[in-house]
Amino acid sequence: MPDTLTPLYLALDHHQAGRLTAAEAGYRSIIEDNPAHVEALHYLGVLLHQRGESSGAAPFLDRALVLSPEYAACWSNRGLAAAALGDAEFAVTCQRRALAIDPSFANAYNNLGVALQKIGRDHEAVDAYQKAIAQQSDFVDAYMNLGSVFSTVKRHEDALGAYRDALRYDRQNSTAHFGEGNALRELGRLDDAIRSLQRAVELAPAHFESRVNLGTTLGLRGRFVEAEAQYRHALKLRDDPQIHVCVGASIGAQGRFSEEEPHYRHALTLDVNHADAQHNLALLNLRRGEFEQGWTLYETRWRASKYTPIEVPGVAEWAGEPLAGRTLLLVGEQGHGDQLQFVRYAAVLERMGAAVDVLVPSNIAELAGGVRGVRRVLLEKPREGYDFWTPMMSVPHHVAGVERGVPADVPYLRVGGVRIGDWPQRVADLAGGQRRVGIVWAGSPTFANDRFRSMPLAALAPLADAPGIAWFSLQKGPARAQLEGAALDLRDLTEQIQDFADTAALIDQLDLVITVDTSVAHLAGALGKPVWVMLPANYDWRWMLDRDDSPWYPTMRLFKQTTLGDWTNVTEAVRTALMFGSASSGA
């Protein structure tokens, strides 16, 4: 028995107690006396790696492995050092060597999974973590890593199961609660996600990411005041530009538009090119009617987190070059309402000398084809044949020197005679000589702010006693189910509507459209039809500050909430306007 055994145990005792300086001295003393002492070489390598000195650790681990090539634990630790040094491929090799020596080595399976994840071999990593768990059923770290890789490959139900398995063995594991909350959010189970993330914050109040993700999930649930509070807590932990943007956005989501700007400005002091801060400032400029600054800054949107850049391969993107004699493809972007609003710029581009084609979805193609300045409508991206292309909402920036303000000549959408068909007779038969008013109370439930921009049909019950009105439903989608038992006596012809041109043909027969902020508002406005838009307190930028009219649509009138989520003042104002005002104009 060598006399270095007792010194090794003393060094290990220091190591396990966290007295790393004393442990290192002990290991080095042993190695000085016996350069071939495998355990001392191994544990000194482990200590250096744990202290973040992996480049110093590797030579000691390598020496130990030369002396003892069947030392499984040393191979596994050499793999950890390789991973820390950025050599994930060698890390995989080391862990596999450890497992060839000891196929029951749970830690090596776990470490193998981590190394495989780093090089994108996620499905192999899943297998490695599952083998680790098969060897050690209470292996919390392996469950955590399994949850992580399942999240990466979008297997969120499986991720949730893995994190919950970890919590079976460690209920106080804040990271497992964090992972559970993230998986629940991805599955759309927002209330459950909030509870999990709140528990993560309780267990680890200084965990920045838990605070941030809790704030984000609260925001998705429409709990903006609480979201703001979590983001502010996060900023106490880290002065992060993205979280300053999140504070500003959560304030804006409450309708406190005048308080947003300082937060975006501060974000830009930390990162002068922060895309989300620039984008949100652009929307503030546009909301205020500061169009020149707003459209210029809005060009940063493709770098912002909520947008996916558009590309038209083989065609140059227009950057404001002269258009006389050139062909240009005007590409729709974002939602149907955005495209109905901005297709008007085809006429401006035509006046500048361009031959303009538009690329839009099929359900608005017919209407887009009738806009002045549109030569042809495409449903798929072309491969060639154009001098330039441009996103629709970039045109205002590029034409600012030609077209000041907003081009608001309405109607710029028109309905063809074939589409009109027998709509006049059908509507007249149902209206019986009364005023014809169309109504929409809800938009797509997938829209981010739909919780607040849509309302239940029951909220419009006060309008039922307005005399002399024939109500027509323009509502499509899941909210149409609310028609049954409604206080409003609604005529419903929407089963005969297949696309926006059909909707336009019906709207053309009406005296007035009353709608929440959906594409129907843009459609009615673009048709030049009187339209009243009911808006939440956190209304979209395009409806602008301190206005009850719209520069975009001269026949439009706006009714804005005074308290977010409470439609009472809006429905009362609409009722009064119906009873005592005029439905023949937007004013």
* pLDDT confidence band for 94 (50 / 70 / 90): very high
What pLDDT sits at residue 587? Answer: 42
Does 4 have pLDDT greater than 70? no
Helical pair 208-220 and 224-237, crossing angle rounded to 10 deg: 160
φ/ψ of 529, rounded to 5, equals: -85, 140
* pLDDT confidence band for 303 (50 / 70 / 90): confident
What pLDDT sits at residue 3? Answer: 53
CA-to-CA distance for 443 and 455, rounded, in angstroms?
Answer: 9
Please, which residues have CB within 8 angstroms of residue 138's CB and are 6 or more apart in sequence? Answer: 169
Closest CA to 294 of 394, 390, 392, 391: 394
Does 583 have pLDDT greater than 90? no
502 vs 414, 419, 581, CA distance in Å?
11, 7, 29
- Looking at residue 549, what DSSP letter applies? B
What pLDDT sits at residue 330? Answer: 97
As beta bridge partners, residue 490 has 471
Average pLDDT of the residues of the chain: 94
Mean pLDDT of 376-397: 94
Does 122 have pLDDT greater than 50? yes
DSSP string, 46-91: HHHHHTT-HHHHHHHHHHHHHH-TT-HHHHHHHHHHHHHTT-HHHH
What pLDDT sits at residue 478? Answer: 93
Please, which residues have CB within 8 angstroms of residue 84's CB and are 6 or more apart in sequence? Answer: 49, 52, 54
* pLDDT confidence band for 581 (50 / 70 / 90): confident
Question: Looking up tokens 């307190």, which residue turns up?
Answer: 537
Mean pLDDT of 188-203: 98
Secondary structure of residue 556 in the 3-state scheme:
strand
369 CB neighbour count, 10 Å cutoff: 17
As beta bridge partners, residue 378 has 359
Closest CA to 199 of 225, 176, 232: 176
Could you report how far apart the first and last alpha carbons of the chain are, in Å? 100
What pLDDT sits at residue 582? Answer: 53
Tokens of 526: 């673009």
What pLDDT sits at residue 304? Answer: 81
- Looking at residue 563, what DSSP letter applies? B
* pLDDT confidence band for 5 (50 / 70 / 90): low
137 CB neighbour count, 10 Å cutoff: 12
